[in-house]
Chains A and B, each alone.
Chain A
């Protein structure tokens, strides 16, 4: 019995060292050497200052920006969260109605409701919009920035990423990238 206990302890410590220390550190070494920027969080810098991560959504409040999706965690990257709403409940339907109404108010001339603009993402940090979700905001952004709708349309098309390898996922627009481009158009 005592022998089994000793083996159990020695085995646990050895495996803890291999799987919990050596493996993650070796992986870190290789990852840092080969994919340095990605391994550190795909940070985006502007003028020497970090303005965010390409992969994490951020909050855009002012009307001149393209807005990100609703976020249950208000784009706080230290506490990611979904809304965890029960979608079949009557409160949810009521809330959706209000969201849709304010979406129409904010973006006059809207033809249909892009689902991603009225639903909270899973992580609360979704960096993307569907192309429809971005284009729905064109009239507002155009009015605020003075950039023509046609030009904004082209900007969105340029920043649309297609399905990966032609099949996987959904077409999407990175909101931070789009707004950065918008910023340089404004200058």
Chain B
């Protein structure tokens, strides 16, 4: 346990050390001033814009920005769907895999365009190398960059003077050329050095020492893994994701994966502070998220080391079911916390086989959906709760609430409320539906309370655009493919549209001067209020469902 805590501590410190430099870099990437970065990347980007037909100087109001986001995402979705449906006829299919059936192709295309990476399939026996490249690796870049672009646009609205949120095409391209591509390449090479395959060769047949056969599937795994984590995507090349030794061969590759997941979501919160010229505001939000993260981490660490009492009584220490020896309990627990905080959704251990309290943590983090969160959208969800907190505090002291000098009024609060309420709605309603229909309950692998958690986890994962699973659930059915597909779309685009609308509405507001009566939102007191509001809203909405699932299971196992 001592060594476990030590390594978890060291990794968390690495997360923290990278926040500032990466945050500073991000601000430079999206700044308009002529910088050295512009000199390095500018020429290449200008060529790309010319081929795309994009005018770099064009700016967009919130409606135009939102329209561009939706249209580009829609076109990509169609392209991906087509690739899955005809992969048999396309090149780079060394293992001779068949076309993907329609329901599964829809679910998978939606899953990757929304940055969810929910997988109703196992990559090694469903997708050709070409599909993995141009219909999985490709949207891993663009969905992450889309989230990023929207966060940047929102901040422009917060600090702007007119409805000008920037240029979506430029924000999207810059995120890829200046952040994601260079980092992904370097990380991919590091991963290959640890043993992650990167090859165009197909499966190889081996005759094992004991005389049996083993067919070893491989592929372009390293270039896939790096963007999967940098972009908080989370889908696996192989069915068992980062538990698979080819995706995650050593403890060090595991550390690299976790650092990649946390790097951009945490840095973006700091960058936000720099942008609005109020670093303390950035840290206030960071602290609120960080404290929730630590409590969650401690919970899952403790319960996985402890295991379940009935098994412990048989003399087995800790819970190793669904875990890998090289990673052990501590790096598995940390990975679980990180992957559901940063809404990546990759797993290095089977979440279905976590102890009840251990499984409670990823579920709860996806329900809160703002503990650092996915690329861009995590910051936005944090800011949503912040706006709500400002509003509630304003009501308590009887003043019109303000945030960064902009008055928060009826329209913004209504939009924020829709964005916050849609999340529980699209988790709880389809869960109830799935439990009521006889056909969909047949997919449940483990009976009773754990079975409820399986279904709840699936829709929470879809709604939070996380993508991890209680993998026992047989989710490759028409019902789950379509239902989770729709939940992923709603979870992604409704809140994005609401946020851009809020940005457009804030952008045109006059800045009111700070007075002694202004509620200060960058103090420890406000951080405390923010945590409280996140927890209270989260608990009020999801507590009944959690009580029936993991909490009841925990109590019963005591």
Q: Which residue of A lies closest to B323 (CB)?
A: A122
In the bound assembly, the distance between CA atoms of A53 and B447 in angstroms comes to: 37
Leading 5 A-B pairs by shortest Cβ distance: A169-B251, A122-B243, A20-B138, A84-B472, A20-B134
- The answer to whether B246 and A39 touch across the interface, beta carbons within 8 angstroms, is no
Tell me whether A83 and B209 are in contact in the complex, defined as CB-CB below 8 angstroms, given that A12-B76, A40-B218, A123-B243 are known contacts.
no
Give the distance in Å from the alpha carbon of A170 to the alpha carbon of B547 in the complex: 34
Are B52 and A10 interface neighbours, CB within 8 A? Answer: yes
**Is A135 among interface residues, defined by CB-CB distance under 8 A?**
no
Do the beta carbons of A122 and B240 come within 8 Å of each other?
yes
11 pairs of residues in contact across A and B, judged by CB atoms under 8 Å: A41-B246, A49-B207, A55-B249, A60-B209, A84-B446, A87-B311, A122-B349, A123-B240, A123-B245, A123-B324, A167-B7
Contact (Cβ within 8 A) A80 B325: no
Task: For A64, give the chain B residue with the smallest CB separation.
Answer: B210
Asked if B209 and A183 sit within 8 Å, CB to CB, the answer is yes
Are B326 and A4 in contact, CB atoms less than 8 angstroms apart? no
Binds A, one of B351-359, B367-375, B392-400, B494-502: B351-359
Which residues on B sit within 8 Å (CB–CB) of A40?
Answer: 197, 199, 201, 218
In angstroms, how far is the closest chain A Cβ from the Cβ of B317? 6
Q: Tell which of A13, A14, A41 has the most Cβ of chain B within 10 Å.
A: A41
Candidates B124, B172, B216, B240; contact of A52 at CB < 8 Å: B216
Is A78 touching B223 in the complex (CB atoms < 8 A)?
no
Kindly state whether residue B458 has any CB partner on chain A within 8 Å.
no
Task: Look across to chain A and name the residue whose beta carbon is closest to the beta carbon of B67.
Answer: A4
Inter-chain contact B209/A80, CB cutoff 8 Å = no
Whether A96 contacts B185 in the complex (CB less than 8 A), given A10-B51, A41-B216, A87-B353, comes out as no
Binary B-proximity of A67-88 (CB < 8 A = 1, otherwise 0) = 0010000011111111111111
Looking at B32-40, B158-166, B550-558, the stretch in contact with chain A turns out to be B550-558
Query: Are B316 and A118 in contact, CB atoms less than 8 angstroms apart?
Result: yes
The answer to whether A83 touches B350 (Cβ under 8 A) is yes
Q: Is the CB of B527 closer than 8 A to any CB of chain A?
A: no
Q: Would you call A16 and B220 a contact (CB within 8 A)?
A: no
B217 close to chain A: CB less than 8 A: yes
**Residue pair A128, B216 in contact (C-beta under 8 Å):** no
Q: Which of A1-39 contact B (CB under 8 A)?
A: 4-16, 18-21, 23-24, 26-28, 30-32, 34-35, 38-39
Report the bound CA distance from A53 to B354 in whole Å: 28
Whether A59 is near chain B, meaning CB under 8 Å from some CB there, is yes
B180 → chain A, closest Cβ, in Å? 8
Q: Which residues of A contact B (CB under 8 A)?
A: 4-16, 18-21, 23-24, 26-28, 30-32, 34-35, 38-43, 49-62, 65, 69, 75-90, 92-93, 96-97, 100, 112-113, 115-116, 118-130, 133, 163-165, 167-170, 172, 176, 179-180, 183
Q: Give A112 to B316 CA distance when docked, in angstroms.
A: 8
Give me 12 other A-B pairs in contact (C-beta within 8 A), A6-B53, A11-B52 excluded. A8-B68, A15-B176, A23-B185, A41-B218, A50-B206, A51-B206, A53-B216, A86-B450, A88-B355, A93-B310, A133-B325, A164-B251
Decide if A30 touches B189 in the complex (CB within 8 Å).
yes
Residues of A within 8 Å of B354, CB to CB, are 87
Q: Which of B209, B222, B554 contacts A51 (CB 8 A)?
A: B209
Query: Does chain A have a CB within 8 A of B436?
Result: no
Q: How far is the CA of A96 from the CA of B51 in the complex (A)?
A: 61
Q: Is B331 an interface residue (CB 8 A)?
A: yes
Contact of A20 with B311 in the complex, beta carbons under 8 Å? no
Nearest Cβ on chain B to A16's Cβ, whole angstroms: 5
Is there an interface contact between B448 and A89, defined as CB atoms closer than 8 Å?
A: yes
